[in-house]
Structures are given as structure tokens and as C-alpha cells.
Structure 1
Amino acid sequence: MDQHKLRSHVFDKTGIKIDTDDPIFALVALNEAVLAETIERQLAMLDAATQALAAQACAAGGLPPLATPVTPKPVETRWFAPREWRLLAAAAIVSLACALLVLAGAALLWR
């Protein structure tokens, strides 16, 4: 992650100057780490599904036999990891609180 490039991109888009020591860069690094973990998990699931499909195609005669036997790995079918469920729940709570705050403000200003 090039902080100076990201800093100039933020300034070009928003006109806001941020320093390279700004805590927002910690959030960017955290986002990159979570994205990398999710991509690794998705690639592992895709690889397992590809191997299972190749094994089925070889068994059906659609592909020549593979040089190394393929043992299909069980594919994990969970939508989200437990950590992601907690983040989704926190985001839902925050969005509901914001919606209630907006409605309360609208009700106060209506009168």
C-alpha cells in the first residue's frame, strides 16, 4: 500500500488533506487484511470445487485420466465466517440506530 498515492487520491476525490500518520491508514490496512483472508478462503473453495469437477469429469469419461489422482476436498458451504456475522450484526445495529435517530429528529422538527 503506497500511502502517498492513497493520500493524493483522497485529496483529488474529496479535497481533504490527510497526513500519512492519520489513523485512517490503519483502517485501510485492516480492510486489506480482511480482504486478503476472504480471498484466500474463496480461492480454496474454488480450487476444491474445480478438483471435484475434474474428478467427476474423469470418472464420466469426459477428460483423460489425470496424472495424479484427485481426491475432492469437502467444500465449506458457510456463507460467512463467525467474525463476519458479528460485523454484519454490528453494522445492522448501527444502521437501525441511525434510522431511529433520523426518524426521531424528523418527528421533532415536524411540530
Structure 2
Amino acid sequence: MTLDPHKLRLHVFEKTGIKVDVDDPIFALVALNEAVLEEAVERHLARLDSARPAASGGASAPSGVAYVAPPGARPIPTSHEPFSRRELRLLAAAAGVAVLTAALVLIGQAIFSKPTGIPPAKLERALQTLDAPTRAKFEAELVK
């Protein structure tokens, strides 16, 4: 699979505005890069093929090669449940810790925080600025 030099040349020009000739040495680098990449991909595919577990019932892979698990490989457990029992226990423990922490914070706030009211001197000054009917209604509400 080789890149078309003319398409690549056009792409470079569109992206950078630089005109590259098809005889430019940069295309040698592109070809070298393709060769190295192709070899690396083939090597990785070979490793993947050799690491794949054997198919059930002795069936062979699409390429005709039977897959054999490497020595010491353990099968990956599969389950249709979204969480394992261990994960559910951990989630329950985390939820319990979160609830207890929230309760502790609320209890601490209730114990250590004192409601602050308006100091009487400020309240008296504020009442003096109100007109007589409003002040009377306010003082009646304070008595209740």
C-alpha cells in the first residue's frame, strides 16, 4: 500500500502552502516510513496471533492457524453481571463511609456552630429608621 506522491504533494501544499516536487527527498522518507510501519504492523499482528487463546472445539482461526495460549496464561473471567460480588461490597462500603462522613459533618456543625442573631444595638438602630406603622408591626412580630 503506497501513497500516491501527487496526492501527498497536493495535501502538503493545501496544509502548509509549500510546494513539494515529487522528486524531493522527502518522499524517500515517506517510503522509508511506510516500510518501517508495515514491518512493525506485521510483527505486532504475529504477536497478537500467537497470544490469542485456542478457539473452542478445536476450531481454527480465520487465517487457518490454530491459536494456542502461551504458557502461564490465565483465561480472562467473563460475566454477564455488571459488577462482581467484590465490587458490590466495595461500592457498599464506599457508600457507607460517605453517609457516615456526611452525618459526622452535620453533627459537627450542629455542635460547634452557634446561631448568630442581630445584636440588640443594631436592631434598635434599624427599628429607629422605620416609619411608625411599620415599626409597630415589626415589634408586634418580635413579641410573638
Seq. identity, %: 61
Secondary structure at the residue paired with 1:19? coil
- Which structure has more helix as a fraction of its residues? 1
Alignment of 1:1-111 (within 5 A): 1-50=3-52, 53-54=53-54, 63-66=56-59, 70=66, 72=68
Q: Distance in 1 between matches of 2:27 and 2:65?
A: 46
Are the structure 2 counterparts of residues 47 and 12 from structure 1 closer, same or farther at C-alpha, using a change threshold of 3 Å? same
Superposed CA offset, 1:47-104 (max 9, x none): 1111xx126xxxxxxx2233799473869xxxxxxxxxxxxxxxxxxxxxxxxxxxxx
Choose 1 or 2 for highest CA Rg.
2
Length, aligned pairs only: 66
Relative contact order higher in (CA < 8 Å, ≥ 6 apart):
1
TM-score for both structures, normalised by structure 1: 0.51
Q: Distance in 1 between matches of 2:36 and 2:26?
A: 15
Q: Distance in 1 between matches of 2:30 and 2:16?
A: 17
**Aligned residue number for residue 105 of structure 1:** none
- Aligned CA RMSD, in angstroms, stands at 2.7
Are the structure 2 counterparts of residues 70 and 5 from structure 1 closer, same or farther at C-alpha, using a change threshold of 3 Å? closer
Structure 1: runs of 5 or more not aligned: 56-62, 76-111
